[in-house]
Structure 1
Amino acid sequence: MLKKLLSTGNHNSSTSFALLLLRVGLGLTMLTHGYPKFLKLIEGNFQFSDPIGLGVEVSLTLAVLAEFLCAILLILGLLSRFALIPLMSTMAVAVFIAHSDDPFATKEKAVLFLITFLFLFISGTGKYSLDQKLFGKRSF
């Protein structure tokens, strides 16, 4: 199971390059949401929503871990599938809980993030990643 999660997939060079572009673009876009939350956390400003009842401090911390730290891991292609789990969870909360009563146009961005994160989780991140460099040429 662990080997499967560390696998980058068996992709050719062009597909791996496309996955690299998708991974980096998606991660950078997610950072635009995570960085302001990271600054709020550092400043001790805990004004944040609490969509699943964990408390605002915990909710903000989890959002920062997903949208900032996991976005960086995704860009690097480091522990990618592990990083995608909090990202998918955060987007699922945004779509199905935080914006459940909102019109689709409001939650559209979170839906697109969720679908794309799920795609990368299933496909793997390709051979142009630190996962490939660190966990190697093994076939899983």
Structure 2
Amino acid sequence: MTSKFSLKGNQPAFINLSLLLIRLSAGGFMLTHGWGKLIKLINGNFEFGDPIGLGVEISLGLAVFAEIFCSLLIVFGFFTRLASIPLIITMLVAVFVVHLDHDFGKKELGLFYFINYLVLFLSGAGKFSMDYLLRKK
């Protein structure tokens, strides 16, 4: 007799629970990085880097879009694959442009987020998501 919740890691329930945990942690924790940037943007404080030469205002706006708006989409599992793309790009810029000359310790968190967003891009949101509910209809 097999159970949906056996300890085998390849069971669908555990895969979907794992995707939920990745979405909640990677999306939720990224909100803490974007919050300060959102406040800066709202207050018109454009003291921000311009790592790829788009201009300070655009760079800040893109970071806020990814770290706030896309992170919220990830948390709710809504357009998850699409929402992961700006976050993947943001993390690649952080790791390979902003922190290029820093030691691995400065790059580690960005790489960790990148891997999480890449997993979500490849796998989708899983069963416990808005994507799944909309696809079911």
Question: Normalising by structure 1, what TM-score?
Answer: 0.87
Identity of aligned residues (%): 50
Q: Aligned partner of 2:128: which letter?
A: Y
Give the superposition deviation at 1:136. 2.1
Once the two structures are superposed, residues 15-56 of structure 1 have per-residue CA deviations (whole angstroms, 9 ceiling, x without a partner) of 101110111011111000011111111111100000000000
Question: Normalising by structure 2, what TM-score?
Answer: 0.89
Q: Which runs of 5+ in 1 are unaligned?
A: 1-10
**Runs of 4+ that moved beyond 3 A:** none
| Structure 1 residue 84 corresponds to structure 2 residue 48 | no
| Structure 1 residue 25 corresponds to structure 2 residue 44 | no
Q: Take 1:99 and 1:16, find their aligned partners in 2: how far apart are those partners?
A: 33
Q: Give the match for residue 106 of structure 1.
A: 106
Q: Which has the higher contact order (CA 8 A, sep 6+)?
A: 1
Q: Take 1:31 and 1:136, find their aligned partners in 2: how far apart are those partners?
A: 29
Q: Take 2:79 and 2:47, find their aligned partners in 1: how far apart are those partners?
A: 30
Please give the residue correspondences for 1:1-140 in structure 2 after superposition, counting only pairs within 5 Å. 12-136=12-136
Give the superposition deviation at 1:123. 1.5
Q: Which runs of 5+ in 2 are unaligned?
A: 1-10
- Which is higher, the Rg of structure 1 or of structure 2? 2
Over the aligned positions, Cα root-mean-square deviation in angstroms equals 1.2
Q: Take 1:90 and 1:74, find their aligned partners in 2: how far apart are those partners?
A: 15
Find the residue that maps to 2:120 and give its secondary structure.
Answer: helix
